[in-house]
Structure 1
Amino acid sequence: MKRCILLLAATLLATPASAYDSENLNPYPQTMNGKRRIVIDLPKIEDEDLARMEISFSKMLENSDCNAKRITGTIKEGTIEGWGYPYWEVNSDGNIAGTLMGCGDRPTKTERVFGAREMIRYNSRIPLVIYVPDGLDAAFRKFTTPGGFQTRS
């Protein structure tokens, strides 16, 4: 009996925290519609219902002036057929839209410019997969809240 318990404990300790094998991403194609796959492994956190991920796309812009800028395009959620796993696809030609203020003699800078943003639920059991066109990067950040809903009457 003790051997069974020790074997079970050793198996559970050797099992990764996530339910997928990050080396085996077979359901997700390497490329989709000419876009490359970016995989983000989310670590397991205590209460995933209190967390969200914001995803976006970006690129570095050199010799940027004082105008506010963003990359044109959208993010669309899809599902891997036959598996039911979600993915997100960036549809953008990489064009930059921005304000047209006169910047005068202000020096130029190198800055990261972002596109559309999408808020999604945090789920460490499956990878966060984003397909982006060449020349763009996937961007993401995690938001958490220390508690549940607050109410007022």
Structure 2
Amino acid sequence: MKTYARVDQGVVVEIVLPYATDEGVEVPIEERFTADFVAQMVDITGITPQPDQRWTYAKGVFAAPAVYQPTLADATVALKAAVQQWLDTTAQASGYDSLASCASYANSGVTQWAADAKAATAWRDAVWQACFAEWSAAQAATNPVIPTAAELIASLPQPATFGWTVHPAGG
């Protein structure tokens, strides 16, 4: 049974799998689709590796798409968002809306809230200082290694170091 790639403007846009009758007889591609549609098909039966969507096709040769490598600027935007989410999620575990919300309690008359604000602010400052140092070093590097969000967060100052403790909301 035959498998086809439908190619449009040099790019595989669809894989057309074999179709058989209830008796197991393959229905030819020409009987399943219009001539114009069939003209876009390339038989990929037996090709290894099997082409897939987004592969390119030129002069009888398939090529896998290039692996996307984010730029340092793109990665920095994504990593900043991940770090901010980590900061906010940590504060939310103690009932605050966000780390910014927690920090707003710096002058609170409630001892726990004021302590949380002090710890959160010190932690936040250390985290962002470490991030900016990391990004400056990456920009200066010839071939910077871009960490995953999990790798970056694991390397950053942790909240407990600054006296942050998770506690029930309302403190």
Shorter-chain TM-score: which interval? under 0.3
Q: Which protein is richer in strand relative to its size?
A: 1
Q: Which protein is richer in helix relative to its size?
A: 2
TM-score by length of 1: 0.25
TM-score by length of 2: 0.23
Greater relative contact order (Cα < 8 A, sep 6+) = 1
Structure of greater Rg: 2
